[in-house]
């Protein structure tokens, strides 16, 4: 086989996969992905116990930020590495790194050690997220893929709900180290299932090499930017010299990365990927949608506690409608994509509905009863949910088969990046207003309540604007035919 033929050969399976084998493979990688998703939310309820045990409470926020920083920065690397050495060994490496980090977290005897261990965890967690989506692309054609990607939305929603409740329960009754020890048996189960279910994947071509310079520049740019976001604290924080210096470093590294990608013989991100109309518009859409969606998951509970007087547990439970709605929306779109040629329609209608719901929150938050807020949050979840499987399948369908891993990783990277920036920017709205101190209303009486309502109406207005931009980008995304067996309805029309 010549070099050109070898380069163009996509990763294949050694034999056709029946429905049972596909489902087992997807369930195996979903368990691995659940580990990474769970650890983004399970730690927060245990922070007070961690601080009381290890001291250095000024660094508590880094227990979460360290994980977010390294998981976001490492995501694109796993996509490229898996295209070079294969999905299974890369997934095993991510599981090993994540499990090792979990053990180090459980055994930490100081805050410094815990923060470093969380950073190690994040390095593994970033790979678990992107590899789960990439394996789905390997075992199912684009037309079959949406029904399996529904599982991904279910994993994220269930971890978002279960994480805080499980973290509080384990920390209260078994001690905070148990929130990390629990990852060991779950990781072992994921390893066992993936070892069996993914055995049918053929090794990929091995004539590729990792772009080390590109990887270093990407990690440096992402780390500097994420570090700057974690150091911001309201209006003064954004203009602080360390923050501005980190933003400047991030911009310099990003510029150097852009120059390098154009000159490297085999760049971390193929230049052709950026010229792909589907990848460009889908990346913009996922970034804007996560700005709004993750922002809602963080600041809706904060509003309910500060302005409506709810307890943290009640406010967290109020998010169930948003998260469950996203699963329903993703499920609906995923099932329809396999049976229609115009698969963008459901997501388009959903985005319009979600935008209208956020606009209603922005215009009349103060006058809405609690049940009214819940109805609008349900509309946001059901409306945004269809976007996730639609964008993932569209990007994988449009990418060259040999670049599916890196294309999926790029989309996952921007998904995490959009959520992180949304939390930071919307947080600046809230903190800079002076309306909150440690999540509680500043002052009392009608004036303080009016200020809170105005501030959070602006938050929802910013989210609505982000969804409007998302809709504009999504409408520009080409609707390419999905590869794979045509649905019966389309076959019938062509036969006629």
The domain over range 272-481 is classified in CATH as 3.30.930.10: no
**Tokens standing for 238?**
């954004």
pLDDT in tens, 108-124: 988 889 989 998 998 89
pLDDT in tens, 240-286: 788 888 889 999 999 998 898 888 887 877 777 777 788 889 999 99
Q: Is it the case that residue 132 has pLDDT exceeding 60?
A: yes
pLDDT recorded at residue 208: 63
Instruction: For CA atoms 134, 326, 463, 233, give the dihedral sign.
Output: negative
| DSSP bridge partners of 437 | 440
CA distance 16 to 396: 20
CA distance 38 to 52: 23
CA distance 434 to 233: 11
Q: Which of 119-133, 236-250, 480-494 has the highest mean pLDDT?
A: 119-133
**Tokens standing for 269?**
């991100």
Indicate the Cα dihedral angle 320, 321, 323, 329, nearest 10°. Answer: 150
Higher model confidence: residue 318 or residue 365? 365
Of 58-62, 315-319, 395-399, least confident by mean pLDDT is 58-62
Q: Which of 11-20, 192-201, 378-387, 395-404 has the highest mean pLDDT?
A: 378-387
pLDDT recorded at residue 8: 37
pLDDT recorded at residue 22: 75
Instruction: For CA atoms 142, 129, 283, 326, give the dihedral sign.
Output: positive
**Tokens standing for 463?**
């989210």
**What is each CA distance from 304 to 300, 314, 417, 444, 477, in whole angstroms?**
6, 9, 26, 15, 37
Number of Cβ within a 10 Å radius of residue 345: 14
Angle at 344 between CA 131 and CA 127, to 5 degrees: 10
Q: Is it the case that residue 364 has pLDDT exceeding 80?
A: yes
pLDDT in tens, 449-475: 777 888 889 889 999 999 999 999 999
CATH number of 19-204: 1.20.1250.20
Average the pLDDT over 213-217 and give the result: 85
Q: What confidence tier does 102 reach under pLDDT thresholds 50, 70, 90? A: very high
Across the chain, mean pLDDT equals 79
**Tokens standing for 216?**
């270093």
Q: Is it the case that residue 443 has pLDDT exceeding 70?
A: no
Please tell me the pTM assigned to this model: 0.73
Strands 440-441, 436-437: pairing kind: antiparallel
Q: What confidence tier does 99 reach under pLDDT thresholds 50, 70, 90? A: very high
Q: What confidence tier does 438 reach under pLDDT thresholds 50, 70, 90? A: very low
CA distance 192 to 228: 39
CA distance 126 to 359: 33
């Amino acid at each position: 086989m010549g070099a050109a033929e070898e380069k163009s050969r996509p990763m294949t399976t050694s034999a056709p996969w029946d429905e049972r084998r596909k489902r087992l493979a997807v369930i195996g990688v979903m368990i691995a992905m659940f580990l990474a998703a769970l650890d983004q939310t399970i730690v927060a309820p245990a922070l007070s116990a961690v601080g009381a045990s290890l001291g250095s409470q000024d660094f508590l926020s880094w227990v979460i930020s360290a994980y977010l920083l390294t998981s976001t920065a490492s995501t694109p690397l796993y996509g490229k590495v898996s295209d070079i050495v294969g999905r299974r060994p890369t997934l095993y490496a991510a599981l090993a790194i994540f499990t090792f980090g979990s053990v180090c977290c459980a055994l930490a005897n100081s805050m410094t050690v815990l923060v470093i261990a969380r950073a190690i965890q994040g390095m593994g967690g970033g790979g678990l997220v992107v590899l789960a989506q990439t394996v789905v692309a390997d075992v199912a054609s684009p037309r079959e893929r949406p029904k399996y990607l529904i599982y991904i939305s279910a994993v994220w929603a269930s971890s978002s709900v279960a994480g805080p409740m499980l973290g509080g329960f384990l920390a209260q009754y078994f001690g905070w180290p148990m929130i990390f020890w629990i990852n060991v048996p779950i990781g072992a189960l994921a390893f066992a299932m993936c070892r069996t279910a993914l055995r049918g994947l053929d090794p990929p071509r091995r004539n590729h090499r990792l772009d080390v310079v590109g990887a270093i520049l990407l990690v440096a740019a992402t780390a500097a930017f994420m570090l700057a976001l974690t150091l911001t604290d309201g209006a003064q924080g954004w203009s602080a010299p360390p923050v501005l210096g980190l933003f400047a470093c991030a911009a310099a590294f990003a510029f150097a990365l852009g120059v390098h990608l154009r000159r490297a013989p085999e760049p971390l991100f193929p230049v052709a990927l950026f010229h792909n109309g589907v990848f460009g518009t889908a990346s913009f859409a996922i970034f804007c949608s996560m700005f709004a969606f993750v922002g809602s998951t963080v600041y809706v509970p904060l509003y309910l506690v500060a302005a409506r007087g709810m307890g943290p547990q009640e406010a967290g439970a109020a998010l169930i409608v948003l998260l469950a709605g996203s699963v329903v929306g993703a499920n609906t779109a995923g099932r329809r994509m396999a049976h229609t040629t115009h698969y963008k329609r459901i997501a388009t209608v959903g985005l319009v509905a979600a935008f209208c719901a956020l606009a209603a929150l922005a215009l009349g938050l103060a006058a809405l009863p609690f049940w009214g807020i819940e109805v609008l949050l349900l509309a946001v979840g059901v409306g945004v949910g269809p976007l996730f499987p639609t964008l993932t399948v569209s990007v994988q369908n449009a990418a060259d088969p040999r670049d599916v891993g890196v294309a999926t990783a790029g989309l996952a990277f921007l998904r995490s990046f959009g959520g992180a920036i949304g939390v930071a920017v919307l947080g600046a709205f809230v903190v800079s207003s002076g309306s909150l101190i440690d999540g509680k209303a500043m002052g009392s009486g009608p004036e303080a309540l009016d200020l809170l309502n105005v501030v959070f109406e602006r938050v929802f207005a910013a989210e609505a604007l982000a969804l409007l931009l998302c809709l504009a980008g999504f409408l520009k995304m080409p609707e390419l035919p999905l590869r794979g067996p045509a649905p019966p309805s389309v076959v019938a029309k062509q036969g006629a």
